[in-house]
Amino acid sequence: DAESKKKLVLAGKKILVTAGPTYEAIDPVRFIGNHSSGKMGFAIADELASMGADVTLVTGPTAQTSKQKTIKRIDVTSAAQMLEACLAVYPGVNAAIMSAAVADYTPAEVAEQKIKKQDEELSIQLKKTTDILKTLGQQKAAGQILVGFALETNDEELNAISKLQKKNLDFIVLNSLNDAGAGFKGDTNKITIIDSALHKTMFDLKSKEAVARDICDKVTQLLNG
Ligand code: CTP
Ligand code: CA
C-alpha cells in the first residue's frame, strides 16, 4: 500500500510533538480549559511516525488516539505538567512541534475543597504560566528545529512574526480564526507558514491530515537540508 511504499525519510530522527488543551484546576472538581480537540497535534504525530520518525507525543486531555503504534504518548493535564514533560524530552530530540493550546494563566491557588456557591460574584485570581515554547527556544541547540503555532484573530502576520522571533523558532504555523473552517474544533484548517527568513507560504483550506503533511514536509526539508 501507499503507506509502506512511502520512503522513511525521517528514520533515525527523534521528534517531540505537543497536542491538545491543558486543564488548570480551580478546585477538586473544576478547571479552566479550552476548546482544543488535539486533532492537529495527533495528525502531525501520525504523519511524522509514518515517515519513520521516533515520535514522543505529549498531550493534554483529549479523546484522540494515534494510528501509528510506534508513537510514545505522555499524558499530562496542566501547563506545568506539560512543561515538565517537554523539558525532559527536548534535549534529546532533533525537532519539536508545539501544537498544544497551553493555558496562559492558571489559578494562583487551588482550593482544597469544592468552592461553595455563596456571593453573587466570584473572582478567581490567576497567575501566568511558563511559556513552554519560549523556554525551549532559549535552550535550543545548534541544528535543532523548533516549530510553534500562533492562533490569531487580528494583525495575524505581525503577531505571528513577533512570536516567531521572541520564541526563537525555525517556523511558525499561523491559524487565523477569521478563516471559515479553520481553527480549534473542526476537521479542517487553513494555515500560513512563516519561516525565520520571513518567507511566507499560504495554504488552502484542507483536512487536518493534509495540513499535517504540509507542516511535516517543511520539517523534513529543514532536517534533511
Ligand atoms: N505556548 C506554550 N506555552 C504557553 C503558551 C503558549 O508553549 N504557556 C505555545 C503554543 O503551544 C503555541 C505558541 O506558544 O505553539 C503560541 O501560542 P499562542 O497562544 O498563539 O501565543 P502566546 O504566546 O500564548 O500569546 P497570546 O495567547 O497572548 O496571543
Ligand atoms: Ca496563548
Give the strand order in the sheet containing 191-195. Answer: 72-75, 54-59, 14-19, 95-98, 145-152, 171-176, 191-195, 200-202
Q: What is the DSSP letter of 140?
A: P
CB count within 10 Å of CB 98 equals 25
Question: Helices 39-50 and 208-224: crossing angle, nearest 10°?
Answer: 50
Instruction: Please answer whether residues 100 and 22 qualify as being in contact, where contact means their C-beta atoms are separated by less than 8 angstroms.
Output: yes
- Indicate whether this complex's ipTM tops 0.85: yes
The answer, yes or no, to whether residue 200 has pLDDT greater than 60, is yes
For the chain, the structural domain boundaries read 9-111+124-224
Task: Please tell me the distance between residue 217's alpha carbon and the centre of ligand 1 in angstroms.
Answer: 23
Joined grid coordinates for residue 154: 487580528
| pLDDT single digits (tens) 147-194 | 999 999 899 999 999 999 999 999 999 987 777 777 676 788 999 999
CATH top class, domain 9-111+124-224: alpha beta
Q: Give mean pLDDT, residues 58-80.
A: 98
Q: What pTM was estimated for this model as a whole?
A: 0.95
Active site residue 224: no
Task: Please tell me the distance between residue 130's alpha carbon and the centre of ligand 1 in angstroms.
Answer: 10
